């Protein structure tokens, strides 16, 4: 997850600015609890491989930190594709210049995986320009098609998530999955910011809910706390943290939502 961006769509504008939809609004809506449950064992059966496509370091944990634990528990093979190194999260910052972020943020992912007990997870880095994935989407699609195999299950950010890098990564993953006869599963991250309960722009009919135990939620929370560069205010620019409490509240619940 990176700097706030706005996108216009045929369905209306998706604004990623300010505090976004209060988490209390989402929790007061019964629609989330009514969603069908996600069966990880059925979705990723024995012998299948899970491929996580993360636009930025931290998206893999914010969007599917619970899923990663479930996959490990059933001993599924898992591959993490890091699309960018997240070097553009602090524009103009003397404290966090791009070269420092490009080194620090992948290390944060490594630490987060360690916290989950997933230190052996294979990670492949595309090293595409942070903030400009759309211009390099064909390169990402080609890379994914070289990696994917029939029967893989690809987890990627939703193609209408609201952030350009998330959407470009999702589109590339969808095209690659189709070409390789792999299954695509999409995960919303920024959607919780700009959407509202019952929002018709969200594909609720495709949505499934993965329930997280209290232990898995705790580990996910601990893993997210490894992303120090995103959780602290920047005194060199006066900007607040990239991941403020309002954002974390919407992503740290005892469930995760996926679009099948």
Residues 6+ apart with CB under 8 A from 142: none
pLDDT at 175: 98
Who's near 195: CB < 8 A, 6+ residues apart?
14, 21, 201, 202
pLDDT band at 156 (very low <50, low <70, confident <90, very high): very high
Q: What is the pLDDT of residue 6?
A: 47
Q: How far apart are CA 110 and CA 226, in angstroms?
A: 9
pLDDT of residue 9: 41
Q: For the residues 229-257, what does the mean pLDDT come to?
A: 97
Nearest partner of 173 among 153, 207, 144, judged by Cα:
144
Residue 17, pLDDT score:
86
Instruction: Say whether 160 sits in a helix, a strand or coil.
Output: coil
Contact assessment for residue 146 and residue 105, using Cβ atoms and an 8 Å cutoff: no
Lowest mean pLDDT among 8-17, 21-30, 169-178: 8-17
Q: 15: pLDDT confidence band, cut at 50, 70 and 90?
A: confident
Report the run of H or E that residue 105 belongs to, with start and end.
Answer: helix 98-115
Buried b (16+ CB within 10 A) or exposed e, 91-125: eebeebebeebbebbbebbbebbebbebeebebee
Residue among 192, 260, 257, 252 nearest 35 (CA): 257
Give the residue with greater pLDDT, 260 vs 7.
260
Share of the chain above pLDDT 70, in %: 95
Residue 3, pLDDT score: 54
Mean pLDDT for the stretch of residues 39-47:
96
Q: Is the pLDDT of residue 33 over 70?
A: yes
**Burial category of 134 from C-beta neighbours within 10 Å (exposed 0-12, middle 13-18, buried 19 and up):** middle
Q: How far apart are the first and last CA of the chain?
A: 22
On the question of pLDDT at 8 being above 60, the answer is no
d(CA 148, CA 188): 22
> Looking up tokens 């959607």, which residue turns up?
191
The average pLDDT across 214-234 equals 98
pTM to 2 decimal places: 0.94
Structural domains in the chain, CATH included, are: 20-259 (3.40.50.10320)
Average pLDDT estimate for 181-194? 98
Average pLDDT, the chain: 95
Helix (H, G, I), strand (E, B) or coil at 9: strand
Q: Which helix (H) or strand (E) holds 161?
A: none
Q: What is the pLDDT of residue 198?
A: 97
Rounded CA gap, 179 and 17, in Å?
35
pLDDT tens digits for 115-131? 999 999 999 999 999 99
Q: Where are the alpha helices (DSSP H) in 181-235?
A: 191-194, 214-224, 228-231
Q: How confident is the model at residue 13 (pLDDT cuts 50, 70, 90)?
A: confident
Comparing C-alpha atoms, which of 79, 77, 83 is closest to residue 51? 79
Closest CA to 57 of 129, 115, 118, 107: 107
Q: What is the DSSP letter of 239?
A: B
pLDDT band at 133 (very low <50, low <70, confident <90, very high): very high
pLDDT band at residue 12 using 50, 70 and 90 as cut-offs = low
What's the pLDDT tens digit per position in 56-115? 999 999 999 999 999 999 999 999 999 999 999 999 999 999 999 999 999 999 999 999
Instruction: Answer whether residue 7 shows pLDDT above 70.
Output: no
Question: How far, in Å, CA of 123 to CA of 162, rounded?
Answer: 25
């Amino acid at each position: 997850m990176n700097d706030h961006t706005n996108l216009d769509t045929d369905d209306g504008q998706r604004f990623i600015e300010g505090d976004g939809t209060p988490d209390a609004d989402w929790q007061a809506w019964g629609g989330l609890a009514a969603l069908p449950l996600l069966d990880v064992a059925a979705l990723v059966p024995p012998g299948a491989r899970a491929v996580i496509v993360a636009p930025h370091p931290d998206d893999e944990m914010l969007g599917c930190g619970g899923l990663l634990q479930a996959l490990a528990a059933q001993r599924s093979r898992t591959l993490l594709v890091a699309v960018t190194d997240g070097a553009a999260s602090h524009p103009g910052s003397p404290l966090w210049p791009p070269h420092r972020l490009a080194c620090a943020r992948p290390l944060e992912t490594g630490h987060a995986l360690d916290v989950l007990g997933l230190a052996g997870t294979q990670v492949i880095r595309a090293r595409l320009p942070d903030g400009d994935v759309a211009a390099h989407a064909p390169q990402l699609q080609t890379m994914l098609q070289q990696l994917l195999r029939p029967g893989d299950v690809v987890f990627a950010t939703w193609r209408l998530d609201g952030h350009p890098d998330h959407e470009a990564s999702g589109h590339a993953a969808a095209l690659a999955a189709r070409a390789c006869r792999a299954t695509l599963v999409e995960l919303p991250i920024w959607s919780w910011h700009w959407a509202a309960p019952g929002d018709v722009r969200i594909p609720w009919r495709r949505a499934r809910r993965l329930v997280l135990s209290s232990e898995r939620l705790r580990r996910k929370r601990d893993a997210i706390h490894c992303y120090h560069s995103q959780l602290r205010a920047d005194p060199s620019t006066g900007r607040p943290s990239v991941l403020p409490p309002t954002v974390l509240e919407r992503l740290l619940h005892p469930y995760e939502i996926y679009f099948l």
